[in-house]
Structure 1
Amino acid sequence: MPALIYSATASLDGFIAGPGGDMSWLTEHLGGENEAAERVLARTGAILVGRVTFGGDDPHRGTDKEGAFEGQYDGPVVVLTHRPPDDPPSACSPDGVEFATDLVTAVDRAKELAGDRDVNVLGADVAAQCLAAGLLDEVLMFFAPVLLGDGTPMFRHAGGTRVRLERLPGETEQWYRVVR
């Protein structure tokens, strides 16, 4: 059954973006072979992303590696936002980007677009919303050998929330199933 997977690269102190959403720190830590990243990319049929992440910084902006998975992802994207553009692209637009204004609609549409493949969640806020709603199935984190000290944490929930995870058998140490 297709899964809803939150994947990101974080600093060792748990930030997926630096202050102000800066992603330039990540550039020196990308590239090279990563079997887990290749597997999650091969399984991804659609991306669900928040508006901040969608319009935010890209460590490869202006290069052929710009975009999700260092520019290797080419498929549908559903953007969850309270402020869709006045003139959003149509569902059949060549860029494959759609906008949704509520979580359930966004998740359902991303799953529909993904078919029998997984939906990859990008963005800490959308991931936290999916967790809170009981919709997130897996978490895959990559860690870069850097300490940022501030920025966007990989997971934040006001008041704190304990989310139980269990390691997926046969996978990297940072790939987990959400225990419900």
Structure 2
Amino acid sequence: MPTDYLIAEGPVGIRRVVPGDRDAFAAAVRASADLHGGWLALADSAEAFDAYVAACDRRTKEGLLICDRETGDLAGSVNLNTIVHGRFENAALGYGAFVPYAGKGFMSAGLALVIRFAFEQLNLHRLEANIQPGNEPSRRLVQRHGFRFEGLSPDYLFIDGAWRDHERWALITDNPQVPAAGRNDRR
């Protein structure tokens, strides 16, 4: 059980996904299939997991795990996708909680740590979360962390066999909920 957390606070820590997580990750995804429904698709096989880890190159994609620090169990997964530096300093979030941790505060606490990591360590200016209309738990999660609604993107992502509309939510460094150390005003 890796314990090299990027950031940890209270019962929750975040760390990078590693090849040794294959079995636990795929099992958590399979156990959470009903929870994820048509909202997202995560690696649920050894082959899919290996491809996912290979794509997490730390320059353009970070694969992060939210862990229960007491047990080391996987409570959720967060991706920082399409990381762009330079004039954009942006990443797109992808995330999902795992059963039995869903609804118990681990995802919210873990997302707070991911936000700190993104703004303080990656020096990003903006995080985006794209959420399918009707996904109320996901919408509430980002609202709780200060993300603001920016609009609707029709046919944005191909999920569960179809192109799905997504609401675009964003958090930028001028938001008071962004940790002070991450407010990298470059205007």
More strand by percentage: 2
* TM-score normalised according to structure 2 size: 0.31
More helix by percentage: 2
* TM-score normalised according to structure 1 size: 0.31
